[in-house]
Structure 1
Amino acid sequence: MLMRMASAPDQYFSTADLAVEFNLSRNHLTKIMQQLSRGGIVETRRGGSGGAKLSQAPEGIRLGDVVRLLEQGQALVECLAPDGGDCTIDNCCRLKARLRRAEMRFIEDLNLTSLAEIALPK
């Protein structure tokens, strides 16, 4: 959805049109669009010519920031969840810190790429 929007950053896109184009659930896309709006990635407006458009140039939107926003509250593994999950070896585990570091590096690596770099062809 963002890749399509990056190909025409000044255009408003309706979730209905995007759902048809990508054969996805409109309800699902609406939820994602709301999350992107709350996170400042897109701006929305109602009405016949409404929809959503990027809130800034696609060159300024980093992929890692988008993933971080959309994955808030979703732990890579159970033990990285805010409540720590039900791990029985948490007090002696040597894997948790490595997983946390890998997750940080994943986001950092994605942040090397802007949305403009992966925009769909017009």
Structure 2
Amino acid sequence: MQLTRHTDYALRVLLHLTVVPTGRATIPEIATAYGLSRNHLMKVVHHLAQGGFIETQRGRGGGFTLARPPAHIRIGAVVRHSEPDMKMADCAACAIRPACGLSGVLTEATNAFLSVLDRYSLTDAARDRGRLAALIAALPAPAPGVSEACVPS
């Protein structure tokens, strides 16, 4: 199973917010630091806000923050929100589906995968907080003059 780029970016944003000292970030900051597309990241941030994982603030001094403590944000919930269709295979149109037991096996495997992710929070993912914060601090900063208030509505 491979998670989409959307989910990868969502998890990076949330981990970033978990460990940065201010607890606040902007799209230019994260896009530059991780070498991500600003347009794609804007959609991810908007989607995270819709899911109640982050809060956004527009304008000068704007950006986004976690909507609740990192210990209360489960990795499984983020993945479910970012991956609404977690099918490992598309069995719906398969000619042998009526006699095949693979669909049930794959569903069970997906549920087991999500069950493991449900046991962990952002706090668990950021357990080496000091090292993560140091690595994030060493990432590139946005170029001077780049608007820091890039937050989707």
TM bucket (normalised to shorter chain) is 0.7 to 0.9
Once the two structures are superposed, the pairs formed by residues 35-50 of structure 1 within 5 Å of their partners are: 35-50=47-62
Shift in Å, 1:50 = 1.1
Shift in Å, 1:48 = 1.6
SS in 2 for 1:78: coil
Aligned residue identity for 1:32: V
8 Å Cα contact 1:61/1:115 also seen in 2? yes
8 Å Cα contact 2:75/2:118 also seen in 1? yes
8 Å Cα contact 2:77/2:118 also seen in 1? yes
Aligned residue identity for 2:85: G
Deviant stretches of 4+, over 3 Å:
none
8 Å Cα contact 1:42/1:54 also seen in 2? yes
Shift in Å, 1:106 = 0.4
SS in 2 for 1:27: helix
List gaps (5 residues or longer) in structure 1.
none
SS in 2 for 1:96: helix
Shift in Å, 1:29 = 0.9
Q: 2:34 — aligned with what?
A: 22
Question: Aligned partners of 2:69, 2:21: CA distance in 1, in Å?
Answer: 7
Shift in Å, 1:61 = 0.6
Under a length normalisation based on structure 1, what TM-score does the superposition of the two structures give?
0.87
Q: 1:59 — aligned with what?
A: 71
Under a length normalisation based on structure 2, what TM-score does the superposition of the two structures give?
0.71
Percent identity of the aligned residues? Answer: 34
After superposition, the CA RMSD in angstroms is: 1.6
Count of aligned positions: 117
Shift in Å, 1:63 = 0.5
Query: What are the Cα deviations for residues 21-52 of structure 1, in whole angstroms up to 9, with x where unaligned?
Result: 11111111111111111111111110121111
List gaps (5 residues or longer) in structure 2.
1-12, 134-153
8 Å Cα contact 2:87/2:107 also seen in 1? no
Shift in Å, 1:2 = 1.2
